[in-house]
Structure 1
């Protein structure tokens, strides 16, 4: 370092001061509504002043290990092993020169969201009020000691330790005596750290999930404040008092050309092109409403990756050449997507409609309508308040689709641009309609 940088002249390094984030005056819930979610992502958090070398630093590592540091922790054993709410529940107690956080998190099924939050709070409160056991302490020490030893095999870890000694003005033997300090900790030390660091009544409970299903249930834990996916307060829009799901769908059908024009479209073949991180993708749809037939294909370089087909009252899915018949629940969900203008057949198919108010969709006020099949499959559509056009579709399995660039085709408006946000692809997919044939013949070859 001296050889290469020793002749550099020291400059004036700017300094900054930041206000220390304060803990909430009382517990509250921050909710991000994502209607298509079948899970809720939960994170309980509060700020904490903690940096490496603080008196509570090493004891906080032990405390966190017992609370949610691994598969033998209290959170994991409760929420996964005992309750079966999640695949894993964990916690962390951070360390930072400015400010850190204490957090606990898990992804759980929508229907157990409130129960999971209750168990999180219960475990945190029990830890603070009743403390840890000697057995838990010894196991946590063994796990942390083993992890510390293994980390020394990495040169980057050793280098980082050296940097920390300088950055945090630690004693030169801080890491050399780390295991001694760890092993010297007692149950009383850990319990005192828990009481100093954690306030069970002042967590912000951030939850991302289906707001219509979980909002009311979460109110028992504090005021529920809604945010958008950018962390800004959600716009609170109010729909007309007499608005219904049926009126929203009627307005949509009139906006795209009217029920008579829609009814005249019997078949459609649509091809769309998109690009996924440099790879060309083609998505094609075939609709045959008169014969209750439907097909969708996703292809790369002419090779079909995924194909969905509905015909003769049955459905099948083919992935990479492997064909599988749909189970009843899969078939019900596929049928929901098998109509070019599903709004025209919801009543005929016996689907129930739920009006869920006026929502903000990327700056556009839109009416939210939830469609449910008799078997329980659901999807959600959003219709722009001003134009009546459908601008967003949510599906728990396939993700979110945004519609734009409506153009008139045979007297009916159809979206020529789709933005697809799917859990199966890493980035939003921008798809453009490249060809569309309406009321043409549909052959078996088209479906295959």
Structure 2
């Protein structure tokens, strides 16, 4: 193996040397982009139709888009979201199951929302697929059963996001940037959803799903004349109507740079967003310079922000920026998620890089490379029919010149360092920007105060609050032993807990992108044995075992035997109730009082592990471990909720673990002194 490895290195070095001797090719002329112009017509009800014939592949796509102005929903925020969820669940003519079965039969894809609909299929089925799209969009069947089901899903999603730091950060960023009375600043809550009725959904559909600003873009292997006749037949009956217009205040940026902090005690890292609002239309002369300036600052991997925060300092997996554009007010944002310990340093570097692009002219070579990459991606996208459809729609809705995309490459190439300097100062408003941070106040506020940037505090809904109290005095007489003994008493007492020799837990959880829920099984034996497994159906995803021989982790068919500190840590956790052992130790101390889910908890530190016990109930509510991964320290937090009694001992029926995302495990069955055998630990 060593010989093969050496040969590979030699091949790489030789190839590199040859490449260095070879003259670099001269850049050729910019590619010419020819985007086929759509044939158009307008129905009497106002709907505009754009058709592009493309016979390269036997496929067709239909994109119905409603270009309505944003509107506010007030105390019924969520009605539009529910409308989107309900459109397409069958029609007044066809039951939901029959409708979906026919779509599947044709191998088609049809999606609906309150803003329109999209369908794609083989061209030989295009006639029927267009009929299904029209039927689903224009004759939706809103039922109380489906309404209640979709509403429950939304509420469940809100509950799942309640402790999500990214979700909290995104909500507060929008509230502070736009205001709660602006369409982009409103947010859905359980309270607003409870105000929404089925009648509200029907009214929302009837008021806003109208043809006044509707566009139907058809691209693919079709003929204009036949498609025009089909569209006229299916959509001419759509009643002409104008959507209501909302009035709301224009958002204003802050008068000076400031930090807006949201204390999220369970945060293992800080979500940082620098944000200011912008007015940038695609038709503005500044559009292309602003887009390229953003690529330089934080749009590319080699951008200022990413090369600083990720590559130079290794504080994050990525730092990026974005700038919105369109007919309505949007935002410039620079974002990253960083470790708590470097939050203040990351803020300083964010400010430094934005200041850099506003004061130093960009290097011409950097600008050249960024433009080349941007143009390359544009050329690749042009080959896709969906892109052509979007471009055709943009020309209509954004009032762009007909040759906007033909001149796209030329216009990008015309951007100069002076343009970058100008737009950076115009749109990246460092003196009027909010630095919104959602993080763990007890670990980051002190550092943020040292930056000398004015610091304001908000709750997780964007309401101003006083500076959070992150450190409280410990009451006299509180010791690690008294806290642990109180926990043992709270869950059933030493006699009952000591009698629990085995603990079997069965539950389920979900992970992002997984098609089905995962099964979770944990089995613990007081003899120092443990087995934890995650599986999807019959497929084992992960298994951890501790037995008398040692410990191992098995993942995706690969087994790793643990040694050293990893083995010791696994063995220490291989017991049903580790507090029985912790209570005997004399080296543990109560470190502090810290809020967990809004309630005070005593924190006992044991090396890189911390245990959190609720001050009032005595129950263990969380546990954190600092782990090293990829040269970075990461804090993994586990929350324990929903304690229920099993054979005289209270155990948590809900365990939520942060593993880069929240693994929310809900137990369906917990057994004490049954359901565990030696065979489980092999």
- Same-fold call, TM > 0.5? yes
Q: What runs of 5+ residues in structure 1 fail to find an aligned partner?
A: none
1:1-400 equivalences under 5 Å are: 2=43, 3=228, 4=232, 5=235, 8-25=238-255, 26-33=257-264, 35=266, 37=268, 39-219=269-449, 220=451, 221-223=453-455, 225=457, 227-228=459-460, 241-243=473-475, 244=478, 246=480, 247-262=482-497, 264-265=498-499, 267-274=501-508, 276=510, 278-279=516-517, 281-288=519-526, 291-299=527-535, 305-311=541-547, 314-335=550-571, 337-346=573-582, 348=584, 352-359=588-595, 361=597, 365-373=599-607, 377-383=608-614, 385-394=615-624, 399-400=637-638
Superposed CA deviations along residues 257-308 of structure 1, whole A, max 9, x for unmatched, are: 334543x3362131323364654624122131xx444333345557654332
Counterparts of 2:295 and 2:505, CA distance in 1 = 53
Post-superposition CA distance 1:390-448 (Å, at most 9, x none)? 34445567653332142152x43333x2243554777733212243217x9x7642422
In the alignment, the residues of structure 1 paired with residue 349 and residue 471 of structure 2 have an alpha-carbon distance, to the nearest angstrom, of 36
Classify 1:162/1:304 alpha carbon distance in 2 versus 1 (closer, same or farther; 3 Å).
closer
CA distance in 2 between counterparts of 1:12 and 1:210 reads 48
Quote the offset at 1:369 in angstroms.
Answer: 1.9
* Structure 2 SS opposite 1:345: helix
Larger mean CA deviation between 345-354 and 429-438 belongs to 345-354
Local SS of the residue matching 2:444: helix
Q: 1:430 is matched with which residue?
A: 666
Contact 2:266-2:596 at 8 Å conserved across structures = no
C-alpha contact 2:520 2:535 (8 A) present in aligned 1 = yes
CA distance in 1, matches of 2:318, 2:661: 23
Q: Could you give the per-residue CA deviations for residues 110-131 of structure 1, whole angstroms, max 9, x where no partner exists?
A: 4333322221111111111223
Task: Give secondary structure in 2 for the equivalent of 1:96.
Answer: coil
SS in 2 for 1:318: strand
**2:545–2:551 CA contact under 8 A, matched in 1:** yes
Distance, in Å, in 1 between the alignment partners of 2:280 and 2:680 is 63
The CA deviation at 1:59 is 0.9
Q: Retained in 1: the 8 A contact 2:522–2:530?
A: no
Deviates more, 1:174-183 or 1:65-74: 174-183
Distance 1:74 1:280 in 2: 40
Shift of 1:135: 2.4
Cα gap change, 1:278 to 1:141, in 2 (>3 Å):
closer
Instruction: State how far apart, in whole Å, the 1-side matches of 2:355 and 2:590 are.
Output: 39
The alpha carbon displacement at 1:348 in A equals: 4.0
Contact 1:237 1:365 in 2 (8 A): no
Aligned length: 433
* Alpha-carbon distance in 2 for matches of 1:7, 1:182: 44
Task: Please state how far the C-alpha of 1:238 moved relative to its aligned partner.
Answer: 8.5
Report the Cα offset of residue 63 of structure 1.
Answer: 0.6
Q: Which has the higher helix share?
A: 2
- For structure 2, which runs of at least 5 residues remain unmatched after alignment? 1-40, 44-227, 626-633
Alpha carbons of structure 1 residues 294 and 430: separation in structure 2 relative to 1, 3 Å:
closer
Q: Which has the larger radius of gyration?
A: 2
**In terms of mean alpha carbon deviation, does 61-70 or 83-92 score higher?**
83-92
3-state SS of paired residue (2:426)? helix
Q: Structure 1 CA distance, aligned partners of 2:298 and 2:470?
A: 41
Distance 2:563 2:591 in 1: 29
Give CA-to-partner distance per residue, 1:80-119, whole Å, 9 cap, x none: 3322333332211111332211112233344333322221
Partner residue of 2:650? 413
Once the two structures are TM-superposed, the CA of residue 64 in structure 1 deviates from its matched residue by 0.7
Compare 49-58 and 189-198 and name the one that shifted more. Answer: 49-58
Structure 2 contact 272–436 (Cα < 8 Å) conserved: yes
In 1: Cα distance, 2:370 partner to 2:429 partner: 22
Structure 1 counterpart of 2:641, from 399, 403, 423: 403
Cα distance in 1 for residues equivalent to 2:470 and 2:302 = 47
State the Cα distance separating 1:23 from its structure 2 match.
Answer: 1.8
Q: Which structure exhibits the higher relative contact order, with contacts defined as CA atoms closer than 8 Å and separated by 6 or more residues? A: 1
* Deviates further, 91-100 or 324-333: 324-333
1:130–1:12 Cα change, 3 Å: same
Aligned-partner Cα distance in 1 for 2:462–2:590: 27
TM-score normalised by structure 2 residue count: 0.56
Which structure: greater strand fraction? 1
Using the TM superposition, name which of 232-241 and 114-123 deviates more.
232-241
Task: Note the alpha carbon deviations across 1:11-64, whole angstroms, 9 max, x for none.
Answer: 122112332222233311424535462x44432222222232223211101111
Preserved contact between residue 256 and residue 413 of structure 1 (Cα < 8 Å)? yes
The answer to which of 83-92 and 397-406 deviates more is: 397-406
